[in-house]
A = this chain, B = another copy of it.
């Protein structure tokens, strides 16, 4: 089960998930100039980052929007990046946040769990309905060792618009979504105690986080927002169960680490590695 594999990678290498939200403008100029197109440069940048970090992180999250922005060439770079992650024996999370129903959801599941865009995990938005949105993906979770992270609560300011709306019993929407995900997860728990049916939960304040975690004990969490977005290691600790059960994403913090070091642009991959190790140790120190 992919959740067990992720659990073991977290035990061994720590909680860091490297976000390959790779915008062309992030690439050091001297490196970018070597390639014939933006998309090829981005793929090669990703490759260097993966080579420099795969022994100190647990997984990679590839944000598809950055690749869609570059059209067909970008989608090729996306596909190549996912294949390279697999080749390195690592786990890929396709951050696609797809949310649709019935046959359309089936097509998304096929698109992102097989073929050119095959990933180990996908992120999903279940606003259109839990079963309607997720069911076609669950078939792959059960039969093809795949996993999902459903959006439960994000940490952006606008999350308040809808996710925090309280129902007639005073329960915020994100909690209702979270409870539904927990019910699905309970039916599919792996040997290490977590399900391959996971959730995206932004690291916000501890009290609220703890309450949510207590309602979602079987759910593996993908936590965005470390570093650049303000999430701290002590906040992360709230979401861990016996030190595991979550991966923590950092994108710019790692990809752009070279900007904080003198002459970093000539050694961006090693700067990324140092930042990934610092982040790994920062989280471990707070467990």
Contacts and interface: CB of A to CB of B under 8 A. Distances in A.
Query: Which interface residue of A71, A76, A116 has the most chain B CB atoms within 10 A?
Result: A71
Copies in the complex: 2
A176 B160 CA distance: 12
A131 interface: yes
Contact of A76 (B72, B112, B132): B72
Contacts of A110: 69
A63 B104 contact: yes
A65 B165 contact: no
A161 B162 CA distance: 14
A115 interface: yes
A70 interface: yes
Contacts of A168: 166-168, 170
Interface string A88-111: 000000000111111111011011
Contact of A111 (B23, B71, B102, B126): B71
A125 B103 contact: no
Given A99-B97, A176-B165, A129 B111 contact: no
B156 A101 contact: yes
A128 B159 contact: yes
